[in-house]
Amino acid sequence: MEILVTVNGQKKCFTIAANEILLDVLRREGYTGVKKGCGTGDCGACTVIVNGNAVNSCMMMAAQADGADITTIEGLARDGELHPLQRSFLDHGAAQCGFCIPGMLLSAKAFLDGNPKPTRAQVQEAILGNLCRCTGYKKQVDAIMAVVEGKEEYL
Ligand code: FES
């Protein structure tokens, strides 16, 4: 079957099997920034933004995405400029192995798009579903809070 989606602002038609998950289709189509971790909805590495919401793409059938607007990490930078969240993660040394970072950035973006002035506790809660086994989360929360506090310009 075919699905029509918009990925990172570009209209796409993907041929999929009825039993394929969105994660596998996106990776097959070249969006390899979408990471496969647990495959069971627990780690958040596969997070993408679907119609404004952060979604674990391993828990969504590709067929359910028909007609959806999808953002992957490949779509976060624009015109060669890193998104402020990406810049802030770099500035704060918030990525170590990096495997969790695409999903964490997209969770943070979806969250800040709906709540641009959260508390630190709300930010911590917003990325609860994105597991990082390297850094213990402090630097990632610092990086997101720097954007919230205007130390990094948010587009
Ligand atoms: Fe989807 Fe872990 S790979 S939540």
Q: Which domain holds residue 127?
A: 84-148
Q: Looking at the whole model, is its pTM more than 0.90?
A: yes
Q: Which of 52, 74, 96 is the last residue of a domain?
A: 74
**Which strand (E) or helix (H) includes residue 69?**
strand 69-71
The interaxial angle of helices 101-114 and 84-91, nearest 10 deg, is 130
| Nearest residue to 140 via CA among 155, 127, 154, 153 | 127
Give the end-to-end CA distance of the chain in Å, rounded to a whole number.
37
Per-residue model confidence (pLDDT) at position 29: 98
pLDDT (tens, 9 = 90+) of the chain, 155 residues, equals: 999 999 999 999 999 999 999 999 999 999 999 999 999 999 999 999 999 999 999 999 999 999 999 999 999 998 889 999 999 999 999 999 999 999 999 999 999 999 999 999 999 999 999 999 998 899 999 999 999 998 776 65
| CB of 34 shorter than 6 A to ligand 1 | no
Cβ–ligand 1 distance for 38 under 6 Å, the answer yes
Ligand 1 pocket residue status of 54, Cβ below 6 Å: no
| 20 Cα to the center of ligand 1, angstroms | 15
Residues 63 and 9 placed together within one structural domain of the fold: yes
Domain identity same for 106 and 137: yes
61 and 89 together in one domain:
no
Instruction: Please tell me the distance between residue 154's alpha carbon and the centre of ligand 1 in angstroms.
Output: 27
pLDDT at residue 135 in the model: 80
Q: Are 102 and 141 found together in one domain? A: yes
Is residue 6 domain-shared with residue 54, that is, in the same domain? yes
Q: How many domains does the chain have?
A: 2
Q: What is the enclosing helix (H) or strand (E) of 9?
A: none
With tokens 């969770």, the residue in question is 107
In this predicted structure, what is the pLDDT of residue 155? 53
Q: Does residue 91 lie within any of the structural domains?
A: yes
Q: What is the CATH number of the domain that holds 70?
A: 3.10.20.30
